[in-house]
Structure 1
């Protein structure tokens, strides 16, 4: 597989999965820019960096952008590793941003990237398991293509290489700093690799597409006891297990899932007395809650979701003789695709894209900090197929994640089309 991946990444195929050929000179422009993506992907994948520490990625991207002729860079004070480059076409038109992430993720304890991967992470315990290296490499190639074909676009293009998508302080910091507002950005586009989706297919649907993320901590306390006499205490571990089960199954039995979908997952459970014959007096649980609404706000016809959860926790905890302490941290809101922008762009995009554009309505419980941009600018967030010949099947956030090399062509074509349609409203390559 190593030999295959290394060779295949250099391929420049113009034929899509359905046999379509990219129109005219656009194919040649994509071919010419693909080596930029290939080189960047190799570098970024070998040198993964965690959120807010993307120093090598920052320096590499700035260096490459300058070599491509970019001279206007804008800093985001709260996100110093961000790279934001501006291309002024010199022609009247809107300001359109294209965004990609830069950060990698820590691997699970004991996990390593498989030997067969090529390129392969050179940093122990850290890997691009979410495809951000793919996104950033494609965006750099899009910047190269746009610079060389400036007359094909109008207005200004803003290339946003964003840090810290996997941790707090990426998109939210850039939005808070007002950088894109000062540049006059009106529309913003992004894509994300989609394991299992065939190469040559992209997905997009209007409205809410990804859930908002929330993180909770729950401490349950009661009376500890000797393990031989659980009746002398509150059996905190058993009680905590019942609470964990109750909140995990709560959405299916106490929430209208058709209209208020929600997932509660307990991801951490700690209850340690330090001895095998002692039942501890405390248990700590934490996890995530995904939903398409603000958990703290009540709709007109029902209670806030957090209120439903906390009420159930208190009832079950009290029945076990336990005291519950709950805290909630709200993270990314739901990611929303602008229906008007979807309607305006999709007819032309569908005709010009060389593969399949799947507009089947879809929502997922994953979350993305691209959501912080969507209340401020017209936004569309696409899924990019990366699966072919056994590659691109491993799930994100796992060491098995891979991308088929041909996906780069379609990702670059997509970003180029979005830049063109976003600034000129026309997909023709004249």
Structure 2
């Protein structure tokens, strides 16, 4: 059995290699469902290591190590897509694509996973099971996780546990962020079409003002979270778009409202939709108008398996050389489609501190977002040790 010192040496070597890969990914970012060049590069690097790969969806990849072990299977996932954001940081490996940037750290996620694959490949004869490496497109938009699952990425062989990570710039590199239980909210999008009756603005009594009715819907909907949901149960209703009217002296006959709902459990998620529909329809009716309400499903809430979080915490404290472990107390009302994996199998999603120590770091989804690449080595080490522990 390979010793821990040998693993640490392999991690040191893999981290330097992975930093170079990360810079290549950062230089050529690709938007959701367009990760063709990225996918080809990942496939080449894995095949150079002698690791079998399989295409899933147009740009997704699954690589398998020790496929026929007939023992437990652990999967690791990295997302691949960039964002339509112009990079503002001057770097020697800055994005060469105008208006496209890895502003959410997915370049780091891919590099860490490839580095982990390199380390595990060095000791594969001593690995007591099978490892799957899942490279997933479209986390930022259409939810590549759910589509990859439907295509069978968790089968043949069936995955027993899964791990995922995300950079966290408000924690310095070398820090690990862990959250027990609920980590991210679910999301649903809504579209409300309010229909009234047009008239000249000088004679409003001859019409039914859709703008007034829609404004009342927006106002009344605020009482759903403040008065219908427990203050101990986080929920969000956000109206992000309000479109109506064509002229300053015409009573509008139509308004379109669009927004998002966020919740941490299924019952609250369902209730928000039911109650928003009731409020919208009845408020419009009271104004003499009508409201049609449609919902589009987003991502599920992300809930960690606490046993696996405990395992990562112990490894981080005792073996992985993590500078500090921060236990996150509050869930995020943001979303992450790793949740679809955790609906199927036990696993954990954790956070890799990626900020520079001693300075204020810009958050993700910003053109000023920057990563301290010192985070890559501890990311590779904690993923490697977690895989070995889960396969014991």
TM-score (norm 2): 0.91
Tell me by how many angstroms 1:53 deviates. 1.4
CA contact 1:65–1:140 (8 Å) conserved in 2: yes
Q: Find the partner of 1:374 among 335, 339, 342.
A: 342
Kindly provide the CA deviation profile for residues 263-304 of structure 1, in whole angstroms up to 9, marking residues without a partner as x.
11111221141x333232111111111102236876xxxxx3
Partner of 1:149: 123
Cα separation, 1, equivalents of 2:276 and 2:88 = 40
Between 155-164 and 144-153, report the one with greater CA deviation.
Answer: 144-153
Partner of 2:371: 403
Cα separation, 2, equivalents of 1:363 and 1:296 = 15
Tell me by how many angstroms 1:320 deviates. 2.7
Tell me by how many angstroms 1:248 deviates. 4.0
Cα separation, 2, equivalents of 1:295 and 1:226 = 45
Tell me by how many angstroms 1:375 deviates. 2.0
Partner of 1:413: 381
**Cα distance change, pair 35–249 in 1 and its aligned pair in 2 (3 A):** farther
**Cα distance change, pair 208–147 in 1 and its aligned pair in 2 (3 A):** same
Cα separation, 2, equivalents of 1:211 and 1:150 = 37
Cα separation, 1, equivalents of 2:367 and 2:210 = 36
Between 212-221 and 24-33, report the one with greater CA deviation.
Answer: 24-33
Partner of 1:287: 259
Between 204-213 and 235-244, report the one with greater CA deviation.
Answer: 235-244
Mapping 1:85-96, distance limit 5 Å: 85-88=63-66, 93-96=71-74
**Cα distance change, pair 419–124 in 1 and its aligned pair in 2 (3 A):** same
Mapping 1:283-362, distance limit 5 Å: 283-294=255-266, 304-355=271-322, 356-362=324-330
Cα separation, 2, equivalents of 1:378 and 1:236 = 48
**Cα distance change, pair 118–196 in 1 and its aligned pair in 2 (3 A):** farther
1:135 aligns with 2:109: yes
Mapping 1:15-414, distance limit 5 Å: 24-70=5-51, 72-76=52-56, 79-88=57-66, 93-107=71-85, 112-151=86-125, 153-258=127-232, 260-273=233-246, 275-294=247-266, 304-355=271-322, 356-389=324-357, 393-414=361-382
Q: Which runs of 5+ in 1 are unaligned?
A: 1-22, 299-303, 425-430
Tell me by how many angstroms 1:231 deviates. 4.1
Kindly provide the CA deviation profile for residues 49-74 of structure 1, in whole angstroms up to 9, marking residues without a partner as x.
1221110011010111111222x223
Cα separation, 2, equivalents of 1:297 and 1:362 = 18
Partner of 2:391: 423
Tell me by how many angstroms 1:222 deviates. 0.8
Cα separation, 2, equivalents of 1:32 and 1:66 = 18
Tell me by how many angstroms 1:93 deviates. 4.1
TM-score (norm 1): 0.84
Q: What SS does the aligned partner of 1:178 have? A: coil
CA contact 1:391–1:404 (8 Å) conserved in 2: no
Tell me by how many angstroms 1:221 deviates. 1.3
Between 143-152 and 60-69, report the one with greater CA deviation.
Answer: 143-152
Tell me by how many angstroms 1:125 deviates. 2.2
**Cα distance change, pair 69–391 in 1 and its aligned pair in 2 (3 A):** farther
Kindly provide the CA deviation profile for residues 177-231 of structure 1, in whole angstroms up to 9, marking residues without a partner as x.
2232222211100001112122222122332211111111111111223334444
Aligned residues: 388
**Cα distance change, pair 58–311 in 1 and its aligned pair in 2 (3 A):** same
Tell me by how many angstroms 1:83 deviates. 1.4
Cα separation, 2, equivalents of 1:126 and 1:65 = 26
Q: What SS does the aligned partner of 1:215 have? A: strand
Tell me by how many angstroms 1:91 deviates. 6.6
